[in-house]
Structure formats: C-alpha cells, structure tokens
A and B are shown apart, each in its own frame.
Chain A
Amino acid sequence: MKRFFSLVSAITFMVLAGAATAKIKNPETLVFLWNSNITSLDPAYIGDTASTYSSLNVYSRLLDNDGSNISKFVPSLSAEVPSLANGLIKILDGGAIQYTFPIRDGVFAHRVGIKGDDGSITWHLYDDLSETDRAKIEPGYGQITAEDARYSLMRAILQGESWMANAVTEMITSGIYTNIEKWAIGLSGAEKFENVDAAGLAATHAALAEKIRTEGENLIITLDSSFPATLGIMSLPFATSIIDREWAIEKGAWPDTAETWLDHHKPKLENNPLFEVENGSGPFMVEAWDQAEQRITLKRFDGYFRDPASLKRVVLRTVPEWTNRRLQLLAGDADFAATPPEFIEEMRASEGVKVESLGQVYGRSLFFGWPVKAEGNPAIGSGQLDGKGVPSDFFANLDVRKAFNYAQNYDILLEQIQQGRTVQLRGPTVQGLMGYRSDSPIYSYDPAKAEEHFRAAFDGQLWEVGFEMTSYYSEGSTEAASSLAVLQQSLARINPKFRLRVQALTRSAFREKTYGSSNPESPLSYMGWGPDYSDPGGPLGAASYYLASTGLVAGFSGDGYRELMREKFDPLLAKAWALNDPAVREPIYARLQEMSHEFATTQFMWEAVTANVTRDWVHGYVHNKVLYGAWNFYNISKHE
C-alpha cells in the first residue's frame, strides 16, 4: 500500500511540476474558484461574506473605505465624506447628530428606464444605449438620486431580514432598538410584534421616515445621539448598498408606502423579488447566475461613474473539490483558488502562483462557557468535582480560567501550527483597531503559574481529584484540533489527573452545543468571531462582541459569563460609546483589553490570517480587514 501511495505521490509531483508552465488564459476574465456560494443578490437580505462578492461589486454605497484603511472613508455615491469640519455632520440641540450626504450627480444604474410613446417605461441596459437614447432616460429611472438612497436604507431596515440590516436599525436608533420589530413594539406598546396594530406600524414608518429624509439631492440622516460607527456602517457592502427605487418597485419590492411595509417584512429567500435580479450602479453587473451550477458571471459596467474596470468579466464558480481547484489554478484556467490552510505553503512553492498572507480582523480563541447545561451533558462527565467530570459552572472560577490560560503553549501554536505567520491575540481587538496596544499584558505558557492557580481553585480539591471534560470544535479544522491537543497534553503534564477530551462535531451539532443556545453544552470550544466594523464599540464592534453582557459572545456563553460582563465591563463600554473623541475613547478600550486579560474571559490564542492564492498575473487586490477578504474586482487586472 505504501508503495502504491509513493507512486501516486511521485506522479502527482511530476504532474504538478509540469503544470506550472501555463500562460495567461482568458486575459480579460478573472476566474475565481471557491467553495462558497452567494445567498441572494438583494443587498438588504444578505449578512454573509460570500454574498458581499456580488453586492460589493454590483452595487455602490454612499461611502467606501479608503483602500485597506478601515477607519478612513472616501466618497462614493456621496460626493463628500461628512465631517464636522466640512459641516456635513452637525450636532443639533439636545445632542442629536445630523449627517448630510450630498448625492453625486450623473450616476446611472446598470438598467435605465425610457418612456415610450404610450407612456410606459421599458428598461434597457445603460451600456447598450446610444448617446441619443441616453438623453431619453426618464429622470429617476435608473438615475441614482437621494430618493434612491433614502428608499434603499428604509427598505433594508423595514425588511429586517439580515443582521446587517438590523445593524442599520441600531445605528438609526442610536443603539436603542436592535431591529425594526423591537422598534415597532417600543412605539406601539404591544407585547409582541404580531400584536402591533396598523397605527403602530404607521408610527414606526413615520419615525423612520423622520430620521432618513431627503432635501433636494442631499440625504439627511438624523440620530438622536452619538453613534460613532455610523460612517463605518454606511460603507459596508450590505444593507447600505443603494438600489434604484423605481426599478425595485416595478420588480415587486416594497412600494415605499407606510401601509405596505409589513407585507415585505422578513420575506423568504425565494419570495424576495430582488433575490436573483439586480440593478446596481457598481463597476460590474450580473450577466448570469446559474444557481444549479453555482456559477455567477459578472460583466464590466462601462457606464460606471468612475473609470470602467480593467477586467471585462469575472466568473465565480463553486468547485467543492480542492484537487480540482488546485489543478485549474496551476494550469492557468483559474486565477484564484480557495485554498485550505494546510496547503498554503505547498502552493507558495508552486511556480506561477502567488500567495499573499492577509491579516484578519478577528482572532482564534478557546471560549469558556458557564454555567453549561447540567443535565445529561456528556461534556462535563459526572457534573461533579470528583475526578470524573466538572461542575457545570467550572469556568466561573477565575483561578481555573487563569490556570487554563497559563497551561496553553502559545509558542507552539504560533511557531508550529501557524508557522510564524501571525502574532498572539491580545484580547478582543486586533492590530489596527482602536484600543489595541502592542504592550498590553498577555498570557504565556507557564506550568508553574498554572499549577499555582489550579491548586488555588476550589480550595485545592480540583488539584487533588483532577477532572474530565470534553472540548469541542467544528470538524475539518486542523488548527482547532492541534491547539486543543496542545492544551490537552500540557494539562496532563501539569497534573495527570487532568483529562481534557477533544471532540470534533459536525457543523450543525457544533452549533447546537455551542453558539446555538444561550446556555451552551460546551464548557470549552474553539471558535473565532469577528466584528463588523472598525469601531470597537457599539453593538457590532470587537470589544462589545466579546465583553458586553448583550454582546454576541455573551449571548452563547452562559448566565455566569453575562453576569461578569454586566458587572465589570458594561459600564466602561457604555462610557466609551457615549464619547465622540477618539483620543478619549482609545484609553478606555485599551483598558477593556487589559481587563479581558485580568479576568481571563477567554483564551485568546492568535490573530487570524488567511491567504490569497492566485496566479502571479493577478494584480491589484486591496485587502480590507473589515470585508473579511471579500474581493473588490474593480481594482483587479491581469498581466505578466
């Protein structure tokens, strides 16, 4: 059998060596092979990174990030970036904040409407029209205006489907309501959303319309109080993407009336009229989306308001099998291939292939949960401190958490598992985010200190009797298996009575035992959760995600974790969020980062890195951490 595998390996290497001699194939088309799939073409519906590949390239937003700088913004459909200095941000009486977005003139969507002799509108591709025909475009029909921006934001909020659309609701309500349903309940006084009457629905619409309105070609957004992440949210390629109002209504989307918004609230994917159609103003338009073959073809939009993109087409194809993706990349038929982490180094050594390591906006950690489900939970064994299990609130003990953190061998994680590509994670915020300081305290592998804390925990009983416990990870992650194995061995070395079991679960089973419940089954799990904008505060910021009692991590880490956050972290988070001056906010977030170490809230291991594996003729990728590696194809070109 060994000989057989040697033969196969030899053939493989011969083949791969031979394959790396490809010339540029499809010079104007970028072939992008991945194992993901987009959910919908409706930017208001989506909340996942894969779907942003369409929304980012097909639609435009009011603002864009300034290249890879996640805290700076540049104009897009808005002709200027609002600021206090240019007067487009105003602080009103009572502390309300008003943002003005002057909409750029002369921007057209991919399809525009022309009125016929009978008064009916027919839609045409803008690129196909002659100059004479373009002069006949009906005003507003495919021409991007402030009304389109207002409609797009209101529609996303009222549709309320994706968590990113709900983030806009949080922004508009300055964090008071996390979705439109709660806003309606709050305004109507009803107990449940189902009980909100017509008057309540109308009042909700009116309240929203008051906060998002137009004045000529300006979009005006008024917030009751400060929400520092506003510009960050407005630049994300989700619910803040601007669609053409008239086209959307004709397709059957929300008709922009107060009485009808409930009919268009939380539609099923297949019932959403904008599920598989688009009319954005971005640099590419969707030429074809073959759902069965999982292939989407984007075609260059020559009428883009900036210079047209260099690529003529982009083809995103789902190819589940890695060997196939690899061979297509090596043969030059593909320009990008999604690559499993364990093959990155191998690809780096391949001729004609370029590997770019990219930092991510989040880290990989082991999450403590307490209390976990006590009854019938195999993860905690006997459920007692008797050497055959652990109590359900095992990690409520600060000494236990600290001992676990000292027991992890971070050097092995960084040097052997991560092969020196990244750095140790110092807390919820990574490099580049506010509050990150390179000299903040971190744990290091220290068996003596681990022993000291283990002996101190439970009055020494833990050290005497030991424990058995199961930690979980989602199957397929070698990094997860390795990091848990390192901890497992280290614990056993510190005290042979410490038995940590490591178990891989299917994605669905893992979800059920970990983040699928507010009181999880898993006491210790490997995960990584990242923020959705650069600001560490607010509902979707890094610090809040990990350290707020209402944050994402607290949501699945148990009552004990939530209580700790409520008592120790919430006051500082609220204080920082209420401030506008970054210079004053930064030390507070830095302190929160330190406190995450002090209270050993999580075992922070390493900053996540990913890699782009492309042919070396692909140029122009701009990495933006907040986009989680999503490609903006506008900047991409192919040349030797």
Chain B
Amino acid sequence: MQSYILRRLFFLPIVFFALSLMIFSLQMLLTPIQRLSAYVSTISEMKGGQEQIAHLIKKYGLDEPFITQYWLWVKGVLQGNLGWSETARGPVSEVLLSLFPATAELVVLAFIPSFLCAIWLGTRAGANHNKLVDHIIRFFTILGWSFPTFVFGLIMLMIFYGFLDWLPPGRLSQWAMTDVGSSDFIRYTGANLIDSLINWRWDIFFDSLRHMIAPVITLTYVNLANMTRLMRTSMLETLRQDYIRTARAKGLSRRVIENKHARRNAMLPVTTMAGMELASMMGGVVITETIFDYHGLGQFAATAAGSLDFPAVLGFALYFAVVLVLINLIVDLLYPFFDPRVVLK
C-alpha cells in the first residue's frame, strides 16, 4: 500500500512538468505583442504608442528566449510563486487559494446530492427495467445530459431570479457582503457557509445558502446523467449475477436484494466515475460560475483565459492537475473498501 502511494506520488511532478511545458509552449506560439494582452486591459493603456509597447515588452521579459522565460517561471513555481495575475491584480497562488474555498463549497454541495441521486435513481431504474419508472428516470437524465449548462443555468437564473426573485446570483447579498467585509466578521476558511456558522451569523448562512441553490441545482442536474446511467447499467448487470439468483432462491425480499446485495456491487464503477466527476467539477465549473456571477476558480479561469493571462492560466492548469491526480489517488485508495477483492501493490 505504502509503495503504491509513493509510486503514485513520484509520478506527480512528472505529470505537472509535462502539463506545464505543454501549456507554456502553446502560449509561446504567440508573439510578444500579442502576449501583451495579459498586461494591458484596455486600448487606452497603449496610448504611449510604440515606445510604451516596447517598454512593456521589455518590462515583462516577453522578448526573452523560450528557455529563459520557462526557467524563470518554473523557478518561481518551485519557490511557491506562480506569478502575477493581471486579471486579478494579485499573485496567482494567493488568488487560487482565496477562490478555492468558494468553488470547493459549491462543488461539494453539488456533488453530494448528485452522487446520492445518481445512486438512488440508477438503482430504481435498474431494478425496474423497462417499466414506467425506468422510462421516466431515463428521460429525466437524458434531458439533463442533453441540456448545455449555459442553457439550463440561464433558464434557472431567469425563472428563479428574474421572475420570482428567489434565488439571486453572486455569493452574497449586498448587505451580507458589507457585514462579511466588516471587522466584526472573522474569516476562517473563506467558505461563506462555514464562516457564517463559526461567526454565529445565521442570517449570512441562509443568505449564502440562498445564493447557492440555483448553481447547485444546475451543477447537480447536468452532472447527474452520466452517473445515473452508469449506475443503472451496472445494476442491471449485477441483478443478473448468480449470487443474486441464489439470494432470490433463498427467499430474501426484493428490497433487501436490491439495496443490500446488488447496489453495493453495482456502485463500484460508479465510485470511480464519481471521482472523475468530482475532479472535473472542481475544474470545470467555469460556465456555472460565470452565469451565476459566482466568484470562484471557474469564473477566474474563464476571465484569465479570455485575457490571455498566462500566469493565471498556467496556475489554474497546475491546480487542476493537482486536484485530478489527488482525487484519482483517493479513489484508488478507497477502492479496496468497496471491493475487498482488490489489493493494492
């Protein structure tokens, strides 16, 4: 087990290196003048003319050779410095750290119901193969699968905010933002739900929750389909196994067979997939966060990419790689708990 973990951790830097080299190479295909976009936000900043452009290129070392620029960047990363994000006007590492709790909070809240619903719906559908319940669940999940996030998100936003004014976008209402920003409110984690509880501010807790409902529903629904379908298929296969037939022959109730004997085994492939879903949600909430004005890593990554903010894009890519590898590792390590036949070597 230990050697397995060490081996997996050993490959981590190699993955990061390959990834960073790839992204860095892509950005270097652009000319220094094009890459200046990362440092100037509006055309008016270029009014100094050619002199200003030359000054900025020199100032940010954009005319240095590839190796020099890459080495400078890697050296910084090894010292914990991911560079300066012109989009966020701050060090990339600090920005990622400050936004991580927001995204993590959203993703965890969306992932848990997503996973539980998928297990339940998949079990129901598999256990009621080709019956009305199965058809309804399949229709429901296919609908979610075929809905692009931005369409579903916009519909949610328009109905529940634009029309009903129940679920506003953003992370907090204006009054709550003012309170959170005051010296009376102490920030512990950066996650509004947790911090408001620690500060014993139930009003801020519920305000934060209210702002999260729409993006959570959106994320849950669009991520539900894959896991539900896999659970259903897996359940169908499991229910055809000999041991299930034996259990039936022994006279066990249908409920016990499905929930106790079949579901646990059927969950194995879903668990692996859930890990990947969680990882992709951690890095892929770009559209949801953008639509709901939810300032998290996804929205930051989208803005940074649109502004050709390379340090931020590289930093985000590294973050995503870390999340992907770590979640993968955790899922692999958890696998023996779900399936005792698996032994890690």
**Chain A residues packing against B (C-beta within 8 Å):** 8, 11-12, 14-16, 18-19, 22, 25-26, 29, 31, 36-40, 47-50, 162-163, 166, 178-179, 266, 268-270, 275-276, 287-288, 291-295, 297, 313, 315, 318-321, 323-324, 327-328, 330-331, 333, 506-509, 511-512, 515-518, 529, 532, 540, 552, 555-556, 628
Contacts and interface: CB of A to CB of B under 8 A. Distances in A.
Contact of A518 (B50, B52, B162, B177): B50
Contact of A331 (B33, B36, B59, B162): B162
A31 B174 contact: yes
Contacts of A294: 88, 295, 303
Contacts of B173: 333
A22 B165 CA distance: 9
B161 A47 contact: no
Interface residues of B, number: 64
B292 interface: yes
B181 to A, nearest CB: 5
A18 B174 contact: no
17 contacts: A14-B163, A15-B159, A18-B162, A29-B174, A29-B178, A31-B174, A37-B89, A162-B48, A275-B89, A294-B295, A315-B177, A319-B293, A324-B157, A324-B292, A331-B168, A532-B47, A552-B49
Contact of B99 (A269, A292, A330, A515): A292
Interface in B299-318: 299-300, 302-303, 306, 308
Contacts of A320: 290, 299, 302-303, 306
Contacts of B44: 47-49, 628
B53 A516 contact: yes
Contacts of B43: 515
B109 interface: no
B158 A327 contact: yes
Contact of B42 (A19, A50, A518): A50
A36 B53 contact: no
B98 interface: yes
Nearest to A474: B43
Nearest to A554: B49
Given A12-B158, A315-B177, A508-B34, 14 more contacts: A15-B162, A18-B162, A37-B89, A50-B42, A162-B48, A287-B181, A297-B181, A320-B302, A321-B291, A333-B173, A508-B308, A511-B46, A512-B33, A540-B47
The 10 closest A-B pairs by CB, nearest first: A508-B34, A163-B48, A15-B162, A555-B49, A293-B295, A508-B37, A15-B163, A291-B90, A15-B158, A512-B33
B42 A11 contact: no
Contacts of A511: 33-34, 36-37, 46
A313 B35 CA distance: 37
A162 B98 CA distance: 30
A163 B53 CA distance: 11
Given A11-B155, A508-B35, A16 B88 contact: no
A36 B36 contact: no
B157 A327 contact: yes
Nearest to A331: B165
Nearest to B53: A516
B174 A36 contact: no
